[in-house]
Amino acid sequence: MAKGYNANQQRLADISALGKQLAKRAGFRCEWCASKDDLRPWDQHPGQEITEATLALLCQRCRALADGTPADPNELHTLRNALWSDIPAIAEGVATVLVRSRQPWVREAIEESLLDEAIKTRLLAEL
């Protein structure tokens, strides 16, 4: 138990250490929707090694979407541009949210994106 707690504290410290670079990369805007609302790092793969590639600076709303809150179909269009990012936490992260929404335009958006073919195949299999 104590070990898990310490590991979690260490992880939060590691994320925090990357926070400044992350904010700079993001231009102090949400990397999914460009909002400036309560920006914090989002950890794409808890349990794996933390790098800048697996962190995205997200607003409160996008963090909720990332955690599985159902999205309003209209707001999803604001996330579409993030599919073009070459940073996995941005492009793959947003793709996962789009797939979960099952909107009719999502398949085409993912097919057109520059995501890795293996990732595309996996995502499209869920649609």
Interface positions with Zn ion (CB under 5 A): 30, 32-33, 35, 59, 62
Comparing CB distances to Zn ion, the nearer of 59 and 97 is 59
C-beta of 35: minimal distance to Zn ion in Å? 4
Cα–Cα dist 80/68, whole Å: 17
C-beta of 61: minimal distance to Zn ion in Å? 5
Comparing CB distances to Zn ion, the nearer of 35 and 101 is 35
**C-beta atoms surrounding 89 within 10 Å:** 26
The residues, any chain, with a CB within 8 Å of residue 15's CB and separated by 6 or more, are 41, 43, 50, 55
Comparing CB distances to Zn ion, the nearer of 72 and 117 is 72
Comparing CB distances to Zn ion, the nearer of 35 and 96 is 35
C-beta of 69: minimal distance to Zn ion in Å? 12
Cα–Cα dist 105/77, whole Å: 10
C-beta of 13: minimal distance to Zn ion in Å? 24
Cα–Cα dist 24/127, whole Å: 34
Q: Nearest-CA neighbor of 44 among 56, 58, 59?
A: 56
